[in-house]
Amino acid sequence: MDSSTLRNKFDRFRILIIGRANAGKTTILQRVCKTRENPEIFNSAGERIDPAVLMASRERGVHDIENEMVFRNNPGFIFHDSRGFEAGGPDEFDKVKAFIASRSKERRLKDRIHVIWYCIPMDEDGRSFTNAEVMFFSQCDTGSIPVIVLFTKFDALYDDTFEELTSKGVSRKDAEVLVPQHAKEAFANGPQTNLLYSRKDNQRPPRSHICLPDMDKDDADCGPLIERTAEILDDDVLKQLFVSTQRTNLEFCMRFAVERLLAKHLNFTQTISTRIFGKSDSSSQIIDYLGRYFPHTTVRFTPDHLC
């Protein structure tokens, strides 16, 4: 199924984002959609919720995971936000479990949750998993929905890493350059990562994880998160939808369409068009093929544009 046919059936990629209240979830979503605006909120019936009503609900401690968050800058995404379990206790956790179970079994693909981003901030004093994380990865059946753990505020580890490097004789100038990669490598072999994937402690470990530093900066790069999400989607239909939804990240669309799709069809004995279309074909058909990954663009190219 190509993306044009796919988008006639459904045109929104649905993500559930989970995490503590201070995990930086909204900031990450803004960076992904490349906007500073807050999302518009809609109820399950598709009706827009007045911000004043929503604020009043929050003050009363009421939170509806069924609500949909959409950013005007990239309406191809629908986000669902789960309040941190520590805020609602067992009842909140049960609501999340029920929501995931329901959305993983939806008959229509457009109504399912397509991926889960679980945010764990690294600026906490303990920097260890709370009961919320333990409960989720040991008790929550996510079915076929892939889960990625986002270690947010990862730059909070940089000061300790800097001290460690300078204590070993590394100059302060060199340490500043080495800190990001050194912190990432040390964390990859640390107790948090080992615990995350331990089958003994976690019956349902995540599909992958990623470290996200400096998300509070205006020029923060969410490209690694986008690429990691595409990589762990093993359903080609969902992968194509996710890639083509990146209207704020055309570079990623182009690289994915060319490198990951065309390249795998190439060999040394056939041309691109022969391999893909089964016969020698025109450049315009190849362009149309690539254009399926840019459904939000309206400009049509002809072979003359290649000159």
Note the pLDDT tens digit of each residue in 255-269.
Answer: 666 665 555 555 444
If one compares 117 and 110, the residue with the highest pLDDT of the two is 117
306 part of a folded domain: no
- Report how far residue 82's alpha carbon sits from residue 63's, in angstroms, rounded to the nearest whole number: 8
What pLDDT, on the 0 to 100 scale, is given for residue 303? 43
What pLDDT, on the 0 to 100 scale, is given for residue 6? 57
Rg (CA), the chain: 22
- Report how far residue 97's alpha carbon sits from residue 138's, in angstroms, rounded to the nearest whole number: 12
209/155 same-domain check: yes
Contacts of 234 (CB under 8 A, 6+ apart): 146
DSSP string, 55-123: HHHHHTT---TT-EEE-TT-TTEEEEEEPPHHHHHHHHHHHHHHHHHHHHT-SSGGGS--EEEEEEES-
42/181 same-domain check: yes
What digits encode the pLDDT tens for the residues 144-161?
899 999 999 999 999 999
153/274 same-domain check: no
- Report how far residue 118's alpha carbon sits from residue 140's, in angstroms, rounded to the nearest whole number: 12
- 191 burial type by CB count under 10 A (0-12 exposed, 13-18 middle, 19+ buried): exposed
pLDDT(108) > 80:
yes
219/281 same-domain check: no
> What mean pLDDT, rounded, does the chain reach?
78
276/209 same-domain check: no
pLDDT(37) > 60:
yes
75/169 same-domain check: yes
Q: Under DSSP, is residue 226 helix (H, G, I), strand (E, B) or coil?
A: helix
* pTM (global) more than 0.75: yes
Domain of residue 10: give its range.
Answer: 3-249
pLDDT(123) > 50:
yes
| Number of domain units in the chain | 2
CA atoms within 13 A on the CB side of 161: 19
305 part of a folded domain: no
234/270 same-domain check: no
235/266 same-domain check: no
pLDDT (average), residues 24-28 = 91
pLDDT (average), residues 11-16 = 88
